[in-house]
Chains A and B, each alone.
Chain A
Amino acid sequence: MAKILVIAEHTAGKLNPATAKCVSCAAKIGGAVDVAIFASSADEVANQAAELAGVSRVLKIENPANTEPLAAVIAPQVVALASDYTHVLAPSTTFGKDVLPRVAALLGVGQLSDIMGVESEYVFRRPIYAGNAVVSIEAPADRKLVATVRTASFQPAATGGSAAIESPSVNAELPTHTRFIERSAAKSGRPDLQTANRVVSGGRALGSAENFNLLYGLADKLGAAVGASRAAVDAGYAANDLQVGQTGKIISPELYIAIGISGAIQHLTGIKDARTIVAINKDAEAPIFEVADYGLVGDLFTVVPELEKAIG
């Protein structure tokens, strides 16, 4: 039977929702699921993780060296814990993508990236070529499976659990060759793009950073997060952490409104798990209309204010 270790992602005492989705993936694999938290002090996050349904144990690994999530520091500690497990999972976020391949290499095993479907304990589906193809991959059952989980493919695990919280001792030599300096996050007061139920996203057709601000009014009326296409980010209209797509964030909101976005394949890869897609574009031939549930051909500079008013 599988014994699965999920590496938690957290910031400022809050468990990242990606972790609950990772726990869902682990539950589909089956077996016992433990969640490991690496932090300087882990109590707050541990309590949140313990509430996730299906989690057997929450492991706190508290160390001042774990104040910031540095892959080179966390990886050897994960390796020290991993001996008891058949599977080691982390969300396929920039955190998980940074840490987990380092873990796999230290364990001398390969890694499976971006699990989007679980067929059995050792057979999984994952996207390749920016989502233009999906492969079924069989991992060797006689080795530890290290894998990242495409969070947009899984619903978060329910709460209501009451896992035991433990503090195992971890023997690992921690490097000092990597040091955290700073993090600059855009503070918007809007919902987090990765986890928002509603997202309003803008593309190159906005034409300027100033025009891009037009979206914020609509987003605030909807209580939505704001996203952007790669073209809009590259053109400097929006910050890089707003990018939605294969090389940015892969999201699955209930409602996605694409404004002035033509729908390059790499962008569509980031939104195809959205429940409902609305596209507003003046080009009736734009590929975004091929995937949109509701399409409106029109000038965004007229349509967006009108929409904002209609929602009022």
Chain B
Amino acid sequence: MRGPDRSLRPAGHAALNGALVSKILVGLKRVIDYNVRVRVKPDGTGIMTDGVKMSINPFDEIALEEALRIREKSGATEVIVASIGPADTQQQLRLGLAMGADRAILVQTDTPVEPLAAARTFLKLIEREQPQIVLLGKQGIDDDNNQTGQMLAALWNRPQATFASKVELSGASARVTREVDAGLETIEVDLPAVITTDLRLNEPRYVKLPEIMKAKKKPLDTVTLSDLGVDTAAQFKTLKYEPPAARQKGVMVKDVPELVAALKQKGLL
């Protein structure tokens, strides 16, 4: 079922250090909860998902928190949360609304999509919503691809600021500090832009019960993936799933001299 088209809804424009940001689009992926010990099905055809707790991808939760903070500082921006997934993904979008997003869009599909297809789908949402900032987690903790934000920025022909640990808006640009292997790197990107979040960008707020009640009244539009006319055919075929090779459990040593002797014997000291 397709909800009302809200793309023409007037949005407040807000100045944030002179920045013009009216809309922020945030991607929320539904994933197996961070605390669940993921196991491979014995026949190697997939991951055991029956009765497993599902949550918002933790990196995406950080993305939403950052969007809310930008809105709070500026006063009048709109935060839209969007997800691609089965009907049950409404649970995660409602949680996003309870955290403080203004409205939600579910692009419904029962078939998992690859990152390129997800990026193509989000590009459609961008064309509809015209956000100035798109905030996504740097990676899903399920398939650990770390691709969608970069692909989206490429298809949109806009800047990408990946692995963000600090975001400062100024004028028509954003200064983003990125967590890179060598330390921290700061880049400046013109808006609109895609920003992907790293773990230390912020600490997401806890949702209180009244917010969950209020979130039930916030708009949640559903469109089907096929309605958007996006090519989502899978390019990669998963042949099999296996548990990781286990390390052999070693030996316990009773004290430092025994440890040092063992390491010396192995030629490690």
Query: Which residues of A line the B interface, CB within 8 A?
Result: 11, 70-72, 75, 93-95, 97-106, 108-114, 123, 127-140, 143, 175, 177-186, 194, 222, 230, 233-234, 239-241, 246-247, 249, 254-255, 265, 272, 276-278, 289-298, 303, 306-307, 310-311
- CB-CB < 8 A to B228: which residues of A? none
Contact among B114, B150, B260 for A110, CB-based, below 8 A: B114
- B236 in contact with A139 (CB, 8 Å): yes
Contact of A134 among B116, B145, B193, B243 (CB under 8 A): B243
A139 → chain B closest CB, angstroms? 6
Q: Is the CB of A295 within 8 A of B188?
A: no
Which A residues are in CB contact (< 8 Å) with B244?
Answer: 127, 131-134, 272
B242 touches A133 (CB 8 A): yes
Against A, the Cβ 8 Å flags (1 = close, 0 = not) of B216-237 are: 0000000000000000000111
Contact of A180 among B116, B151, B187 (CB under 8 A): B187
| CA–CA, A306 and B255, complex, Å | 10
Whether the Cβ atoms of A291 and B183 lie closer than 8 Å is no
What chain A residues lie within 8 Å of B190 (beta carbons)?
Answer: 177-178
One digit per residue, 1 when the CB lies within 8 angstroms of any chain A CB and 0 when it does not, for chain B 233-266 equals 0011111111111011111111111011011001
Report the separation of the CA atoms of residues A76 and B228 in the bound assembly, to the nearest whole angstrom.
27
B144: chain A residues within 8 A (beta carbon): 113-114, 127-130, 246
Q: Is B87 an interface residue (CB 8 A)?
A: no
A contact residues around B153 at 8 Å (CB) = 72, 102
**Is A98 a contact partner of B160 (Cβ separation < 8 A)?**
yes
Q: Which residues of B contact A106 (CB under 8 A)?
A: 154
The A-B contact count (CB < 8 A) is 241
Which A residues touch B150, using CB under 8 A?
A: 71, 97-102, 105
Q: Which of B32-40, B63-71, B95-103 contacts A (4 or more CB under 8 A)?
A: B32-40
Tell me the residues in window 187-213 of chain B with beta carbons closer than 8 Å to chain A beta carbons: 187-190, 193, 198-200
- Given contact pairs A132-B39, A133-B242, A179-B187, enumerate 18 new A-B contacts (beta carbons under 8 Å): A94-B163, A97-B162, A101-B154, A102-B160, A105-B116, A110-B116, A127-B144, A128-B143, A178-B161, A182-B185, A184-B185, A185-B183, A254-B268, A294-B250, A294-B252, A298-B255, A307-B256, A310-B260
A-B pairs with lowest CB-CB distance, top 6: A293-B250, A101-B150, A105-B151, A105-B154, A185-B183, A101-B147
Report chain A residues within 8 Å CB of B255. 296, 298
- Residues in B with CB closer than 8 Å to A131 are 244
A295 and B250 in contact, given A136-B239, A310-B260 (Cβ under 8 angstroms)? yes
B142 touches A (CB below 8 Å): yes
B47 at the interface (CB under 8 A from A): yes
Asked if B8 is at the interface of the complex by the 8 Å CB criterion, the answer is no
Interface string of B22-48 (1 = CB under 8 A from A): 000000000010000111100000010
> How distant is B133 from chain A, measured CB to nearest CB, in Å?
14
The contact sample of 14 A-B pairs, CB cut-off 8 A, is A98-B163, A101-B149, A105-B150, A110-B115, A127-B144, A130-B144, A131-B244, A136-B238, A182-B185, A241-B182, A254-B268, A255-B268, A272-B244, A296-B256
Interchain CB contact under 8 A, A94 and B179: yes
Neighbouring A residues of B199 by C-beta, 8 Å: 230, 234, 247
Report A312 CB to chain B, min CB distance, Å. Answer: 10
The answer on a CB contact under 8 Å between A102 and B154 is: yes
Whether the pair A93, B142 counts as a contact (CB closer than 8 A) is no
- Asked if B146 lies at the interface with its beta carbon under 8 angstroms from chain A, I say yes
